[in-house]
Every structure is written in C-alpha cells, then in structure tokens.
Structure 1
Amino acid sequence: MITETDNSPGLRLMALLDLLTRQERPLALPEVVDLSGWPKPTVHRMLVQLEAGGWLLREPDGRRFALAPRLLRFAEATLSASTLQGVRHSVLRQLVAEVGESCNLTAMSGAEVVYLDRVESAFPLRLELRPGTRVPAHCSASGKLFLAWMGARQRRALLDGLALTRYTAHTLTERAALDAELDAIRRDGHAVDAEEFVEGLVCVAVPVLAPGKRTVRCALALQAPAARMTLAQARLQLPRLQSAAQAMARTLG
C-alpha cells in the first residue's frame, strides 16, 4: 500500500515504481491496483505514463508491466555511484587486502551481469573489468549465482531465451548440465567460474542477501588468474568472502 504522503504527481510516480521494483515480477493492472490502493483509472494512467517514458514495458501478453532497460540502467548507475563513494567500496578494498586478488560487486541486469564496483589486485597480471562492464550470466560465477536463486519459472523463462554461447572449452552449453550446476549452487551457497568465461581465469562468488530475507541483492566475487590461484585455493577464501558479503548486506538497508 502506498502512503498518503506520496501525494504529488512526481512522488506518486516514484512511489509506484518503488512498489513495482519490490515485487520482482511483472504485474497486471488489477494487481497494481490492489497493491497500491489507488483507483484503477489513476493507476492505469500512471502505468501508461511510465511506459511512454521508457521506465516500464509491457510483456508479450500485453497485460503485464515489467521493468524497462531505462529503469534498470538508472538503478545500476545509482548503485554504482553510492558504492564507489561509500562503505561498500571500503569493504571491497579490505577484502582485496585480505585475499590478495581482485574482487568485485555485481548485480543482475536483464540476462547479463553488470559490475557495480571492483577493486584490482596489486599484481601486474590481471584482467581489468571496470564498473559498468557486462558479462554473460551462464558462464560467470556471479551470473550463475543469480540464476540459482531465481524462482523456477523466472529462471526457465530467462534461460529459454538465452543463447548458451561457448567462450572457452569449459563453458557449460548444455541446458541439463547448467541446470544441475545451478541446483548445486543453491544448495552449496556459492558459485564458481572454472575458466568458463575467460581461459585461465577462475572466480568464486557468494550472495549478498537482503537483510532478513533470502533475496539476493548483489553478488560478491573473487577473481584470479589460475596460474596464481587455483580454483581450490580460491574456494579456501569463502569464509572471508562470506564475511564481507554480510558486511555489504548491512549497508543495503
């Protein structure tokens, strides 16, 4: 239910966007009316305005409204700006100081993973990936983590439209094998990239959970050249990653 304090036209649109983003699925007009408590004509007019502005888009059935790329880019930019200047970046720097390898904070954006923040190791041999970089979901540790935590219907819909492109000899391109790994990730609580995206690069990722919930807000990952840190050695850093992820979660509110 949207509060009465959101009474100006601009604040009402922002409040409606806030409501929609918290549902984590496309919604039809009657559902939005029930959730907002506003009259149907008002909600319909606002949804059409947001659609015309590029903040929402309609699902193929024409009935349900989903978050549009413009809104996702806005969210990414907001998270990135606050991350680079705040406590989360400090947590990331401290983690890199402890593990000695590059670490990053990512979020899911559509069918890809976007880097919100990253701190590089001091070693000259490294792969530099700046904030804003996008990587495939099916062959990155963070991407597989997000896929593993999705509901079955959401995951199936995303993977049905996703080309499982082969990037290295280790990339999982068979749907059954990927589904089996995603189930194992959900059970184990972490994901790995065993040179699946870039040959010679390994990664371990853990979820940053929304406080008091089992919703994955972001992913925190360690990335290193396999020549310097094997995947088995990277997994030994899981306690440090999980501790940093808990510190990150406390900053999300």
Structure 2
Amino acid sequence: MKAAGGTQALERGLAVLEAIAEAPANGVRLSDVAERCGLEPPTAHRLVAALERYGFVGRVGDSKRLGLGPKLFQLASLSEDQGGLVAAARPGLVRLASYSGDCMFLMARSGFDAVCLDRQDGEYTIRSLTGHIGGATPLGLGPGSTTILAHLPKDEREAILAANRRRIEALGHALPSEDDLARIREHGYCHEISRSIAGIVGAAVPILTPKGRPIAALAIGATEARLPEPRLAAVIARMREEASLLSLAIANSRTAMRS
C-alpha cells in the first residue's frame, strides 16, 4: 500500500507540473491547476509547495500565479543527451571560443528566465551574469537573454517584461524598450556594456527556427578592450554563421525525425 501511495503522489505531482508547464506566459492560478488535475485544493497546495521548495515551480513576478522554475532547465543543461541542443551546438561554440579567444555561451529560455546551457572559455576568462552552466538570468537582462526575448511574439514579450520588471530593476537595470528589441531584430544581434560587471561587454545572436521562433542564443562575453567596434563586427559575423549552421542542422534533424 505504501508503494502504491507513493506512486500516486508522484503521478499527481507530475500532472501538476505538466499543467503548470502548459500555462500561458503570465502563469496559472493554483485553483485552476487543482481543477484541471481533479485534485482537492489542499492536495494541490501541498504538491505545489513541494515542487516550489525544490525549484521546479516558481511564482510569476510578485503574483501568486505559478510558472516553471529554473531547476528543470538546470537539470536538463547537465544532461549528456547527445541528440540534444547542447551536443549539437558544442562544436560551433568551441570554434567560436578558439576564433575569438573569449568566453562563448549557449543560452536557452527557461520560462521567464534564460539559462546557460553551455560555456566554452577561450584564452580570456570573465565573470558573467549567469556565472556558470545552469545559471539563470531574467529574460530581458543580458545580451543572450534579451536576444531571445526580442524574437518572441509581441504579446509574449510584454507578459514576460511585466513579470520580470521588479527583478530586473532590483538589479539596477532598466527594461529593454520595444524600440530596443526592434533594433535587435533589425540588426540581427544584441550588444551591451554590462552595468553589473565593470569593464565587461557582451553580444549575442539568435538561433531561430525556419519560422523565426527563437530556439536559443549564442553569446560572447569579453572585456571592453578586447571587443572594440571593428572586432565586434567580425566576431558577430562568425557567430551568425555558426547560428545559421545550427538552425539548419536542427531543422534537418526534426524533419528526419518526422519522416
């Protein structure tokens, strides 16, 4: 009986997690999760509280609405699945780190955050906003994160920025404007001087599906002295080449899987 009870609790917890994962960008109410999963409110509350303690679920901004927490994506980033995004992107990330001599990052969306899935250091190692593989930053803060945000649909961008406003402002940053995001889409990259880490600059390019949906972003972090305008243009050109190759490889892989 104890094993059956444990299995039932696990199945209920997974159902709750799935319900939250399928919620809109502004999250979902606990009462709606309980109704969808056929649970009594106290049971749903206990399951959500447990998932929240372990970082699988989080609150959206300052509201009580529920969204996925970064723990799921941090665990995924540590996976050695050779068919995944990390494995597909790693050769290009290594080439870019070798070419530039600077730190290169693979960033992907995690709910209202962007998570560092991979990092390759060149000759010059720096501190970064995410800090390490598995580290997260709110969407709209940092070049990789902001590049992903810029390529999301407008209503999704607005909901994310509304949810992340206080988190970003608490870190001493302003939210990117629609004009800022439009320029990123127009130019094909984001370039920022860090306000959190003195002397550090970053740039990022998107990895897109054929329909323009962001899969992830390739980003570089370097000192201001190492990334002046002329060199920045050359590095971004190489980053865009690698992003295009990766987008094509992912599209071909998905086509092959469907056939």
Same-fold status (TM-score > 0.5): yes
TM-score by length of 2: 0.65
The whole-number CA distance in structure 1 between the counterparts of 2:238 and 2:39 is 52
Paired residues of 1:139 and 1:193 also in contact (CA < 8 A): no
The whole-number CA distance in structure 1 between the counterparts of 2:42 and 2:59 is 14
C-alpha displacement of 1:120: 0.9
Structure 1 unaligned segments of length 5 or more: list them: 1-6, 167-172
The whole-number CA distance in structure 1 between the counterparts of 2:211 and 2:19 is 17
The whole-number CA distance in structure 2 between the counterparts of 1:66 and 1:165 is 21
How big is each residue's C-alpha offset from its partner over 1:113-169, in whole Å with a ceiling of 9 and x where there is no partner?
442210111x2x331553244557655211322443342132133225532645xxx
TM-score by length of 1: 0.66
The structure with the greater share of residues assigned to helix is 2
Is the partner of 1:27 in helix, strand or coil? coil
Say yes or no: does 1:163 pair with 2:161.
no
1:242 partner amino acid: A
C-alpha displacement of 1:243: 2.2
1:52 partner amino acid: A
Q: How does 1:1-253 map to 2 (within 5 A)?
A: 10-25=10-25, 26-28=27-29, 32=33, 41-42=38-39, 44=41, 47-53=44-50, 54=52, 55-56=56-57, 64-67=65-68, 71-82=69-80, 86-108=87-109, 113-121=114-122, 123=123, 125-127=124-126, 129-134=131-136, 140-148=142-150, 149=152, 150-163=156-169, 165=171, 173=173, 178-209=177-208, 214-230=212-228, 231-246=232-247, 249=250
The whole-number CA distance in structure 1 between the counterparts of 2:136 and 2:77 is 15
The whole-number CA distance in structure 2 between the counterparts of 1:247 and 1:58 is 35
The whole-number CA distance in structure 2 between the counterparts of 1:49 and 1:249 is 39
The whole-number CA distance in structure 2 between the counterparts of 1:127 and 1:16 is 39
The whole-number CA distance in structure 2 between the counterparts of 1:248 and 1:159 is 35
Paired residues of 2:200 and 2:224 also in contact (CA < 8 A): yes
In the alignment of these two chains, the number of paired residues is 229
| Aligned-pair Cα RMSD in Å | 4.0
Structure 2 unaligned segments of length 5 or more: list them: 1-6
Paired residues of 1:140 and 1:196 also in contact (CA < 8 A): no
Greater Cα shift, 143-152 or 133-142? 133-142
Q: Percent of pairs identical after alignment?
A: 20
1:48 partner amino acid: H
Q: Which runs of 4+ in 1 moved over 6 A?
A: none
1:72/1:165 Cα in 2 relative to 1: closer, same or farther (>3 Å)? closer
